[in-house]
Amino acid sequence: MATVSPVQEHTQAGLRLQRPARLAAALHLWHLTSLDAPTVAVVWTLAFAHAVQVNLPLWLPVVLALVAWSMYIGDRLMDVYGEKRRGGLSRINSLRPRHHFHWQHRQILLPVAIGSAAIAAALVLHSMPVAARERNSLLAAAALAYFGGVHSPWRARSVRLKLPLRLPKELLVGILFTLACAVPAWSRISAVGPQRLVLLPAILAFILLAWLNCHAIEVWESGALQREWRIRPLSLVLCGAAFAAALAFEAWRQPLPAALLLAAAAAALLTAALDRFRHRMDATTLRAAADLVLLTPVALLLWS
Protein backbone atom coordinates (compact mmCIF):
# COMPACT_ATOMS: atom_id res chain seq x y z
CA MET A 1 0.00 0.00 0.00
CA ALA A 2 1.43 3.35 -1.09
CA THR A 3 2.16 5.88 1.62
CA VAL A 4 1.61 9.62 1.37
CA SER A 5 4.50 11.85 2.34
CA PRO A 6 3.94 14.81 4.67
CA VAL A 7 4.64 17.18 1.76
CA GLN A 8 1.99 15.49 -0.42
CA GLU A 9 -0.48 15.48 2.46
CA HIS A 10 0.11 19.18 3.06
CA THR A 11 -0.31 19.95 -0.67
CA GLN A 12 -3.54 17.98 -0.89
CA ALA A 13 -4.90 19.71 2.21
CA GLY A 14 -3.99 23.07 0.67
CA LEU A 15 -5.85 22.21 -2.52
CA ARG A 16 -8.92 21.20 -0.52
CA LEU A 17 -8.85 24.57 1.20
CA GLN A 18 -8.27 26.45 -2.06
CA ARG A 19 -11.33 25.09 -3.85
CA PRO A 20 -13.91 26.68 -1.50
CA ALA A 21 -11.88 29.89 -1.52
CA ARG A 22 -11.89 29.95 -5.33
CA LEU A 23 -15.63 29.27 -5.43
CA ALA A 24 -16.23 32.08 -2.93
CA ALA A 25 -14.03 34.44 -4.96
CA ALA A 26 -15.92 33.59 -8.16
CA LEU A 27 -19.24 34.12 -6.37
CA HIS A 28 -18.05 37.48 -5.04
CA LEU A 29 -16.88 38.60 -8.49
CA TRP A 30 -20.19 37.52 -10.03
CA HIS A 31 -21.97 39.75 -7.54
CA LEU A 32 -19.53 42.68 -7.44
CA THR A 33 -19.56 43.07 -11.24
CA SER A 34 -23.39 43.12 -11.22
CA LEU A 35 -23.52 39.99 -13.37
CA ASP A 36 -25.94 38.40 -10.90
CA ALA A 37 -28.94 40.43 -12.10
CA PRO A 38 -28.57 39.63 -15.84
CA THR A 39 -27.95 35.97 -15.02
CA VAL A 40 -31.17 35.75 -13.02
CA ALA A 41 -33.05 37.69 -15.72
CA VAL A 42 -31.98 35.26 -18.44
CA VAL A 43 -32.76 32.16 -16.36
CA TRP A 44 -36.20 33.43 -15.36
CA THR A 45 -37.05 34.52 -18.91
CA LEU A 46 -36.12 31.13 -20.36
CA ALA A 47 -37.93 29.32 -17.53
CA PHE A 48 -41.19 31.24 -18.07
CA ALA A 49 -41.01 30.48 -21.78
CA HIS A 50 -40.17 26.82 -21.21
CA ALA A 51 -43.06 26.40 -18.78
CA VAL A 52 -45.55 27.25 -21.53
CA GLN A 53 -43.45 25.67 -24.31
CA VAL A 54 -42.62 28.91 -26.11
CA ASN A 55 -39.43 29.20 -28.14
CA LEU A 56 -37.82 32.60 -27.74
CA PRO A 57 -35.43 34.11 -30.33
CA LEU A 58 -31.84 34.25 -29.10
CA TRP A 59 -31.63 38.03 -29.25
CA LEU A 60 -34.39 38.48 -26.67
CA PRO A 61 -32.66 37.07 -23.56
CA VAL A 62 -29.49 38.79 -24.77
CA VAL A 63 -31.31 42.14 -24.77
CA LEU A 64 -32.70 41.50 -21.29
CA ALA A 65 -29.26 40.58 -19.96
CA LEU A 66 -27.63 43.68 -21.47
CA VAL A 67 -30.37 46.01 -20.21
CA ALA A 68 -30.28 44.50 -16.71
CA TRP A 69 -26.48 44.74 -16.59
CA SER A 70 -26.37 48.36 -17.75
CA MET A 71 -29.13 49.40 -15.32
CA TYR A 72 -27.55 47.69 -12.33
CA ILE A 73 -24.12 49.17 -13.09
CA GLY A 74 -25.73 52.58 -13.48
CA ASP A 75 -27.63 52.11 -10.23
CA ARG A 76 -24.46 51.31 -8.29
CA LEU A 77 -22.55 54.25 -9.75
CA MET A 78 -25.44 56.66 -9.19
CA ASP A 79 -25.71 55.47 -5.57
CA VAL A 80 -22.09 56.43 -4.98
CA TYR A 81 -22.40 59.70 -6.87
CA GLY A 82 -25.51 60.64 -4.91
CA GLU A 83 -23.89 59.91 -1.56
CA LYS A 84 -20.77 61.84 -2.60
CA ARG A 85 -22.89 64.82 -3.64
CA ARG A 86 -24.86 64.80 -0.40
CA GLY A 87 -22.12 64.16 2.14
CA GLY A 88 -18.69 63.72 0.57
CA LEU A 89 -16.29 60.86 1.22
CA SER A 90 -17.66 60.17 4.70
CA ARG A 91 -21.02 59.17 3.19
CA ILE A 92 -19.34 56.93 0.59
CA ASN A 93 -17.56 54.95 3.30
CA SER A 94 -20.95 53.74 4.57
CA LEU A 95 -21.86 52.10 1.25
CA ARG A 96 -21.60 48.39 0.42
CA PRO A 97 -18.64 46.55 -1.16
CA ARG A 98 -20.46 46.40 -4.51
CA HIS A 99 -20.66 50.21 -4.56
CA HIS A 100 -16.97 50.60 -3.73
CA PHE A 101 -16.07 48.04 -6.42
CA HIS A 102 -18.08 49.89 -9.06
CA TRP A 103 -16.65 53.26 -8.11
CA GLN A 104 -13.11 51.92 -8.04
CA HIS A 105 -13.56 50.40 -11.51
CA ARG A 106 -15.88 53.06 -12.94
CA GLN A 107 -13.54 53.80 -15.85
CA ILE A 108 -14.20 50.24 -17.04
CA LEU A 109 -17.75 49.64 -15.87
CA LEU A 110 -19.26 52.91 -17.10
CA PRO A 111 -18.24 52.28 -20.75
CA VAL A 112 -19.45 48.68 -20.31
CA ALA A 113 -22.87 49.94 -19.18
CA ILE A 114 -23.11 52.44 -22.04
CA GLY A 115 -21.99 49.85 -24.57
CA SER A 116 -24.43 47.25 -23.23
CA ALA A 117 -27.32 49.71 -23.45
CA ALA A 118 -26.32 50.69 -27.00
CA ILE A 119 -26.10 47.07 -28.17
CA ALA A 120 -29.45 46.29 -26.57
CA ALA A 121 -31.06 49.28 -28.31
CA ALA A 122 -29.58 48.22 -31.65
CA LEU A 123 -30.91 44.68 -31.21
CA VAL A 124 -34.36 45.99 -30.34
CA LEU A 125 -34.46 48.27 -33.38
CA HIS A 126 -33.17 45.52 -35.67
CA SER A 127 -35.05 42.47 -34.41
CA MET A 128 -38.11 43.47 -32.36
CA PRO A 129 -41.34 43.96 -34.32
CA VAL A 130 -42.90 47.41 -34.10
CA ALA A 131 -46.00 46.04 -32.35
CA ALA A 132 -43.83 44.40 -29.68
CA ARG A 133 -41.88 47.62 -29.19
CA GLU A 134 -45.09 49.52 -28.56
CA ARG A 135 -46.29 46.80 -26.18
CA ASN A 136 -43.05 46.81 -24.21
CA SER A 137 -42.64 50.59 -24.15
CA LEU A 138 -44.92 50.94 -21.11
CA LEU A 139 -42.81 48.55 -19.05
CA ALA A 140 -39.62 50.26 -20.21
CA ALA A 141 -41.05 53.67 -19.30
CA ALA A 142 -42.03 52.40 -15.85
CA ALA A 143 -38.50 51.05 -15.28
CA LEU A 144 -36.91 54.33 -16.38
CA ALA A 145 -39.32 56.32 -14.21
CA TYR A 146 -38.40 54.17 -11.22
CA PHE A 147 -34.68 54.51 -11.94
CA GLY A 148 -34.97 58.26 -12.36
CA GLY A 149 -37.08 58.61 -9.23
CA VAL A 150 -34.66 56.66 -7.06
CA HIS A 151 -31.67 58.76 -8.14
CA SER A 152 -33.41 62.11 -8.50
CA PRO A 153 -31.87 64.92 -6.41
CA TRP A 154 -35.41 65.71 -5.28
CA ARG A 155 -36.00 62.15 -4.03
CA ALA A 156 -35.65 63.02 -0.34
CA ARG A 157 -38.24 65.76 -0.68
CA SER A 158 -40.67 63.47 -2.51
CA VAL A 159 -40.26 60.77 0.16
CA ARG A 160 -41.28 63.27 2.84
CA LEU A 161 -44.59 63.74 1.06
CA LYS A 162 -45.54 60.16 2.05
CA LEU A 163 -48.04 59.55 -0.69
CA PRO A 164 -50.74 57.12 0.55
CA LEU A 165 -50.46 54.80 -2.46
CA ARG A 166 -46.67 54.74 -2.66
CA LEU A 167 -45.51 51.14 -3.05
CA PRO A 168 -42.40 49.90 -1.21
CA LYS A 169 -39.24 50.08 -3.28
CA GLU A 170 -38.61 46.34 -2.91
CA LEU A 171 -42.07 45.49 -4.25
CA LEU A 172 -41.69 47.83 -7.23
CA VAL A 173 -38.38 46.17 -8.12
CA GLY A 174 -39.98 42.73 -7.82
CA ILE A 175 -42.88 43.68 -10.08
CA LEU A 176 -40.78 45.36 -12.78
CA PHE A 177 -38.07 42.71 -12.82
CA THR A 178 -40.47 39.75 -12.96
CA LEU A 179 -42.74 41.31 -15.58
CA ALA A 180 -39.74 42.05 -17.79
CA CYS A 181 -38.86 38.34 -17.60
CA ALA A 182 -42.42 37.08 -18.10
CA VAL A 183 -43.65 39.39 -20.89
CA PRO A 184 -41.71 37.63 -23.69
CA ALA A 185 -43.47 34.34 -22.96
CA TRP A 186 -46.81 35.97 -22.10
CA SER A 187 -46.96 37.90 -25.38
CA ARG A 188 -46.31 34.76 -27.43
CA ILE A 189 -49.13 32.62 -26.08
CA SER A 190 -52.79 32.80 -26.97
CA ALA A 191 -54.82 35.43 -25.15
CA VAL A 192 -57.61 32.87 -24.84
CA GLY A 193 -56.77 29.46 -23.44
CA PRO A 194 -55.20 27.64 -20.49
CA GLN A 195 -51.59 28.73 -21.05
CA ARG A 196 -52.02 32.22 -19.65
CA LEU A 197 -54.04 30.79 -16.79
CA VAL A 198 -51.22 28.44 -15.81
CA LEU A 199 -48.59 31.16 -16.16
CA LEU A 200 -50.31 33.67 -13.87
CA PRO A 201 -49.62 31.85 -10.55
CA ALA A 202 -45.96 31.47 -11.51
CA ILE A 203 -45.69 35.19 -12.33
CA LEU A 204 -47.23 36.06 -8.97
CA ALA A 205 -44.94 33.62 -7.14
CA PHE A 206 -41.82 35.07 -8.77
CA ILE A 207 -42.93 38.65 -8.10
CA LEU A 208 -43.19 37.72 -4.42
CA LEU A 209 -39.86 35.88 -4.62
CA ALA A 210 -38.11 38.92 -6.13
CA TRP A 211 -39.70 41.14 -3.47
CA LEU A 212 -38.60 38.72 -0.74
CA ASN A 213 -35.05 38.79 -2.10
CA CYS A 214 -34.94 42.59 -2.05
CA HIS A 215 -36.61 42.74 1.36
CA ALA A 216 -34.20 40.24 2.92
CA ILE A 217 -31.16 42.04 1.53
CA GLU A 218 -32.46 45.38 2.78
CA VAL A 219 -33.03 43.98 6.28
CA TRP A 220 -29.70 42.14 6.43
CA GLU A 221 -27.70 45.14 5.25
CA SER A 222 -29.53 47.83 7.18
CA GLY A 223 -29.70 45.91 10.45
CA ALA A 224 -33.41 46.69 10.77
CA LEU A 225 -33.97 44.33 13.69
CA GLN A 226 -37.63 45.28 14.03
CA ARG A 227 -38.22 43.78 10.57
CA GLU A 228 -35.79 40.88 10.91
CA TRP A 229 -38.30 38.38 12.25
CA ARG A 230 -40.41 38.59 9.10
CA ILE A 231 -37.96 37.04 6.66
CA ARG A 232 -38.11 33.38 7.66
CA PRO A 233 -41.92 33.23 8.17
CA LEU A 234 -42.50 35.07 4.89
CA SER A 235 -40.10 32.74 3.09
CA LEU A 236 -41.79 29.66 4.49
CA VAL A 237 -45.29 30.97 3.68
CA LEU A 238 -44.23 31.66 0.09
CA CYS A 239 -42.57 28.24 -0.10
CA GLY A 240 -45.72 26.52 1.14
CA ALA A 241 -48.04 28.46 -1.16
CA ALA A 242 -45.87 27.81 -4.24
CA PHE A 243 -45.57 24.13 -3.32
CA ALA A 244 -49.35 23.80 -2.92
CA ALA A 245 -49.90 25.49 -6.29
CA ALA A 246 -47.35 23.14 -7.85
CA LEU A 247 -49.25 20.12 -6.51
CA ALA A 248 -52.48 21.55 -7.95
CA PHE A 249 -50.94 22.01 -11.38
CA GLU A 250 -49.41 18.54 -11.26
CA ALA A 251 -52.87 17.12 -10.52
CA TRP A 252 -54.14 19.19 -13.46
CA ARG A 253 -51.49 17.50 -15.62
CA GLN A 254 -49.43 20.63 -16.14
CA PRO A 255 -45.95 19.34 -15.19
CA LEU A 256 -43.88 22.24 -16.54
CA PRO A 257 -45.77 25.04 -14.72
CA ALA A 258 -45.73 22.79 -11.64
CA ALA A 259 -41.95 22.46 -11.91
CA LEU A 260 -41.59 26.24 -12.26
CA LEU A 261 -43.61 26.74 -9.08
CA LEU A 262 -41.47 24.12 -7.32
CA ALA A 263 -38.41 26.15 -8.33
CA ALA A 264 -39.96 29.24 -6.72
CA ALA A 265 -40.74 27.21 -3.58
CA ALA A 266 -37.15 25.94 -3.43
CA ALA A 267 -35.75 29.47 -3.79
CA ALA A 268 -37.99 30.72 -0.97
CA LEU A 269 -36.89 27.82 1.25
CA LEU A 270 -33.22 28.55 0.50
CA THR A 271 -33.80 32.21 1.38
CA ALA A 272 -35.14 31.09 4.76
CA ALA A 273 -32.03 28.95 5.21
CA LEU A 274 -29.78 31.90 4.37
CA ASP A 275 -31.57 33.99 6.98
CA ARG A 276 -31.06 31.21 9.51
CA PHE A 277 -27.31 30.93 8.90
CA ARG A 278 -26.54 34.49 7.77
CA HIS A 279 -24.29 35.20 10.77
CA ARG A 280 -21.83 32.58 9.52
CA MET A 281 -21.22 34.46 6.25
CA ASP A 282 -19.57 37.76 5.46
CA ALA A 283 -21.73 40.47 3.93
CA THR A 284 -20.59 39.97 0.33
CA THR A 285 -21.03 36.19 0.42
CA LEU A 286 -24.50 36.56 1.92
CA ARG A 287 -25.53 39.15 -0.68
CA ALA A 288 -24.24 36.99 -3.54
CA ALA A 289 -25.85 33.84 -2.12
CA ALA A 290 -29.20 35.65 -1.90
CA ASP A 291 -29.12 36.09 -5.68
CA LEU A 292 -27.63 32.66 -6.30
CA VAL A 293 -30.68 30.92 -4.81
CA LEU A 294 -32.84 32.70 -7.40
CA LEU A 295 -31.30 30.45 -10.08
CA THR A 296 -33.33 27.39 -9.02
CA PRO A 297 -35.33 27.49 -12.32
CA VAL A 298 -32.13 26.24 -14.00
CA ALA A 299 -33.29 22.78 -12.89
CA LEU A 300 -36.42 23.18 -15.01
CA LEU A 301 -34.31 24.08 -18.04
CA LEU A 302 -31.83 21.23 -17.58
CA TRP A 303 -34.01 18.29 -16.61
CA SER A 304 -37.32 18.73 -18.41
Inside any domain, residue 109: yes
In the prediction, which pLDDT does 96 show?
Answer: 87
In the prediction, which pLDDT does 90 show?
Answer: 56
Inside any domain, residue 47: yes
What span, in angstroms and rounded, lies between the C-alpha atoms of 168 and 117? 27
In the prediction, which pLDDT does 303 show?
Answer: 81
Phi, psi at residue 188, to the nearest 5°?
-105, 5
Structural domains of the chain, count: 1
Inside any domain, residue 10: no
Each residue's pLDDT tens digit in the chain (304 positions)? 445 444 344 444 444 446 678 888 999 999 999 999 999 999 999 999 999 999 999 999 999 999 999 999 999 998 888 877 766 555 566 688 899 899 999 999 999 999 999 999 999 999 888 777 766 777 777 776 766 666 655 554 444 444 444 668 889 899 999 999 999 999 888 765 577 888 999 999 999 999 999 999 989 988 765 655 689 999 999 999 999 999 999 998 899 999 999 999 999 999 999 999 999 999 999 999 999 999 999 999 998 6
Inside any domain, residue 19: no
What span, in angstroms and rounded, lies between the C-alpha atoms of 287 and 293? 11
Kindly report, residue by residue over 244-260, the tens digit of the pLDDT: 999 999 998 899 999 99
Q: Which has the closest alpha carbon to 292: 303, 281, 173?
A: 281
Inside any domain, residue 15: no
Inside any domain, residue 40: yes
Inside any domain, residue 286: yes
Domain extent at residue 149: 32-303
* C-alpha torsion 163→228→201→58, nearest 10: 90
Under 8 Å between Cβ of 262 and 298: no
In three state form, how does the secondary structure of 126-183 look?
A: HHCCHHHHHHHHHHHHHHHHHHHHHCCCCHHHHHHHCCCCCCCHHHHHHHHHHHHHHH
In the prediction, which pLDDT does 105 show?
Answer: 94
Inside any domain, residue 5: no
